[in-house]
Amino acid sequence: MAGLAADKDSGRVVVFGLGGTIAMTASDAGGVVPALSADELVAAVPGLAETGIAVEVEDFRRVPGASLSFDDIAALSSAVRGRLAGGVDGVVVTQGTDTIEETAYLLDLGHGAVQPVVVTGAMRNPTLAGADGPANLLAAVQVAASRQARGLGVLVVFGDEIHAASRVSKAHTTNPATFRSANGGPLGYVVEGEPRIVNRPASRTTVAVPKVDLIAGGHDDTTIRATFARAGGYGNAG
């Protein structure tokens, strides 16, 4: 295990809040709704300030995980790329667990930067005893700031386990230890606040994201030819 433990990293991490169980509070009508902002989530994490990691927040969406659309994830991917290009050390995404594996995998396919992107959430909302959101968010921020996680692409951190986006899946509807990587196991663990990578994959698969323009019906072939000259494809909105 020598050399596998990360140093206690400081740095800059951006947290994108998308809603989900981790952000839920009681509603006037009964039940719970994803109402907590990303600021409120970060403020509720014990021990985060003591890590020395500078955390910025983006209150991106406040919806249940099952309500996220492809448009939401495409917009998230673009926003994440922008923040990584600005020099942050890593990104954390908080969202509902129903679609964590899908979000993580879609982000991973288009993620070519060296900085880690970490997706996390919670199985127990903040109104319940044993809410797991704060611990998961703390571990996710620690992984996102860690030099050990650089070059690993998009990760899912849950219950102090570090999973590759290409391997992970949700295995249980209520158990807090819900995420599994059946093909190869976790990449590592967060041990007493230190990310440890013990299973580094040999390679990753990414795809180029082409530029696709949308053209309303009725244009002549001059517009279409000009579009093809600068884009990877086009869609007809007519």
pLDDT in tens, 48-89: 999 999 999 999 999 999 999 999 999 999 999 999 999 999
Q: Give catalytic status of residue 21 as yes or no.
A: yes
Mean residue pLDDT of the chain comes to 89
> pTM value?
0.85
More confident residue, 4 or 181: 181
Active-site residue, from 21, 51, 99, 103: 21
Distance separating alpha carbons of residues 157 and 69, to the nearest angstrom: 22
How much is the pLDDT for 187?
Answer: 98
Q: Output the pLDDT for position 230.
A: 66
User: What are 175's two structure tokens?
Assistant: 């158990």
Measured CA to CA, the distance from residue 225 to residue 219 in angstroms comes to 11
- pLDDT of the residue at 235: 56
Confidence bin at 234 (pLDDT 50/70/90): low
For residue 29, what pLDDT is reported? 83
Residue 106: name the closest of 220, 200, 205, 9 by CA: 205
The domains of the chain, with CATH numbers, are: 11-197 (3.40.50.1170), 208-238 (no CATH)
Q: In angstroms, rounded to a whole number, what is the distance separating the alpha carbons of residues 137 and 7?
A: 19
pLDDT value for 105: 97
Q: How confident is the model at residue 233 (pLDDT cuts 50, 70, 90)?
A: low
